[in-house]
Structure 1
Amino acid sequence: MGALHSGHLELIRQSKKKTDLTIVSIFVNPIQFNNSEDLQKYPRTLNADLAILREEGVDIVFVPSEKEIYPEPVMMKFDFGSMEQVLEGRFRPGHFNGVAIVVSKLFHILKPDISFFGQKDLQQVTVIQKMVSDLSFDIKVEVVPTIRESDGLALSSRNQRLSNDGREIAPILYKALTKCKDELLSGGDWLNIKNKAIEEILSPHNIMPEYLELVETTNFTPVQNPLPGKPFAICIAAHIEQVRLIDNIIIRASHI
């Protein structure tokens, strides 16, 4: 959706490494926002983005207007079952439907062989993978690990909306995730670990997360403890200075 940062550039570089032609779409998709103020405030830096893409050697940039993507109101809806009730699905009703509609439109228009997405939006990527599978898109979805600042903050276009003070606080989310992961892999009880992270790491900075959950990455069902052989993730969403940030850490079976 524009406001490009190094996380986006990593997607581009992976594409240039693995494909013959790299296309980047830039479109702030109105129907995936369940908060009109968030849509209004979403950073838009098209001229700077185009300069970056030119420097990166992108072959094609697709910048459609809203009227081109939505010549008529969309009547159909996607339903992703239980994932609509947890984490992003719960706190952003209608978000996954909006994402699935615009991504399916982009897939039909551009017809990629491989599409690259960032791990930071882990549940969203899983929804896209499910859509690709269920609708038999002949497209490989490749997930690229989250790119972080030196202090651990996951790169996000929304970071641009933070003040200097907010930017100083924001890495606390990643600190909480890593602390939870370390204690979980040391045999701790998830509920105790979660409550301790909120009380000792987040609350002193006046951060009350929308969610901090340990989930199976197949369906994002919250669980109490990871089981060997299954991939899990610890996911967090919180507001800092009214800017909503998300992050996650994946726990692979080999870690347990």
Structure 2
Amino acid sequence: MIQTLMEESTIAALRQRIKEARQAGKTIGFVPTMGYLHDGHASLVRAAREQADFVVMSIFVNPLQFGPNEDLSRYPRDLEHDRKVAKAAGVDLLFTPSVEEMYPSRVLTNITVSQVSEPLCGKSRPGHFDGVATVVMKLFQIVQPDLAFFGQKDAQQVAVVEQMVRDLSVPVQIVRCPIIREEDGLAMSSRNVYLNEEERKQATILYQTLQHVRSSIVTKQPLDRIIAEMKNMISTQPLADIDYAEILRYPDLTAVKEWKSGEQVLVALAVRFGRTRLIDNMILTIS
């Protein structure tokens, strides 16, 4: 059976399509993206297909989450390619609004999720997670999904969204999906296209570092020693410029003061290679 991909670019038209799906008794799965789709995004759609009857994907490069010196204008875009990936993965309805459709006037409402938005990327990208929370809440209001699917590669973003949903009693179930990697371990990202050949080669140190420190955490080595190991290993690559290499409790993203059995920890990395900032992480349960 050939998958039919519907596409809408206005909020009103999208809501009508979703109304029709609900009237047909279908549950709604939602995959919000900024486009330039790869197999990481497709894996979210496949998860949504398994758990929902009707899959909606949004493609919207959200200006609210980009700082003044960040790469909004450079962010890769290829809508025709995205349509093909979305259709092949099993999306039923693609939402492709313009900035003017999403923000017809100056946005005066801002959602801030304290604590979980403050460390890691929140420290180096002030205001970023306010923009994420605001657009995700707006998309939830537009789509009103039963389930929403997010990738673990942006683990802090997932924690922010989960906290927002809990605090504001948003009637949606957040589904966290595993990181999808290239054969050499590099986490799939739309920003990988920015890397030149040598940067791409050296960037594999991120996954190698995560794998290396796993055993140190499992055996409960001292935290400061593990973090020093991480930084030293990444620094073996001459093009690597470390933004952060940290270990925090997950999902509240507070400091790890001691290893407690049953708790989850997030090992999080952000490293620049040339002009490209890459993030990667691993979530472990302490035994």
Query: Is the TM value for this pair above 0.5?
Result: yes
Which structure 2 segments of 5+ residues have no match?
1-33
Q: How far did residue 122 of structure 1 move?
A: 0.5
Distance 2:111 2:65 in 1: 12
For 1:114, the equivalent position in structure 2 comes to 147
Letter in 2 for 1:129: E
Distance 1:3 1:50 in 2: 10
For 2:65, the equivalent position in structure 1 comes to 32
Question: What's the RMSD between the two structures over aligned residues?
Answer: 1.3
For 2:130, the equivalent position in structure 1 comes to 97
2:236 to 197, 204, 210: 204
For 2:90, the equivalent position in structure 1 comes to 57
Q: How far did residue 182 of structure 1 move?
A: 1.5
Letter in 2 for 1:23: V
For 2:262, the equivalent position in structure 1 comes to 229
Distance 1:233 1:74 in 2: 33
1:23 and 1:58 in contact (8 A); partners too: yes
Distance 1:20 1:84 in 2: 32
Quick one: structure 1 residues 252 and 40, their matched pair in 2 at CA, closer, same or farther if it must change by over 3 Å?
A: same
Return structure 1 stretches of 4+ with deviation > 4 angstroms.
none
Matched, 1:243 2:279: no
Distance 1:194 1:69 in 2: 41
Deviations 1:61-91, CA, capped at 9 Å, x for gaps? 0000000100111112222222233111111
Name whichever structure is richer in helix by fraction: 1
1:181 and 1:234 in contact (8 A); partners too: no
Percent identity of paired positions between Structure 1 and Structure 2: 40
Q: How far did residue 189 of structure 1 move?
A: 1.3
Q: How far did residue 166 of structure 1 move?
A: 1.2
Structure having the higher Rg: 2
Deviations 1:123-161, CA, capped at 9 Å, x for gaps? 111110111111111100000011111111111100111
For 1:69, the equivalent position in structure 2 comes to 102
Matched, 1:23 2:56: yes
1:214 and 1:224 in contact (8 A); partners too: no
1:235 and 1:246 in contact (8 A); partners too: yes
Letter in 1 for 2:75: Y
Q: How far did residue 223 of structure 1 move?
A: 1.9
Q: How far did residue 181 of structure 1 move?
A: 1.7
1:156 to 169, 186, 189: 189
Q: TM-score, normalised by structure 1?
A: 0.95
Q: How far did residue 247 of structure 1 move?
A: 0.8
Distance 1:243 1:162 in 2: 7
For 2:15, the equivalent position in structure 1 comes to none
Q: TM-score, normalised by structure 2?
A: 0.85
Q: How far did residue 211 of structure 1 move?
A: 1.0
Q: Comparing 55-64 with 120-129, which one deviates more in the overlay?
A: 55-64
For 1:183, the equivalent position in structure 2 comes to 216
2:180 and 2:188 in contact (8 A); partners too: yes
Deviations 1:184-231, CA, capped at 9 Å, x for gaps? 2223212112212322x2112132321111100132113254311211
Letter in 1 for 2:125: R
Distance 1:57 1:156 in 2: 20
For 2:76, the equivalent position in structure 1 comes to 43
1:191 and 1:224 in contact (8 A); partners too: no
Which structure 1 segments of 5+ residues have no match?
none
Aligned length: 253
For 1:136, the equivalent position in structure 2 comes to 169
Letter in 1 for 2:99: E
Letter in 2 for 1:203: S
Deviations 1:2-47, CA, capped at 9 Å, x for gaps? 0101110000001111111011100000110114441111111111
For 1:215, the equivalent position in structure 2 comes to 248
Distance 2:257 2:38 in 1: 35
Q: Secondary structure at the match of 1:4?
A: coil
For 1:124, the equivalent position in structure 2 comes to 157
2:152 and 2:178 in contact (8 A); partners too: yes
Matched, 1:83 2:123: no
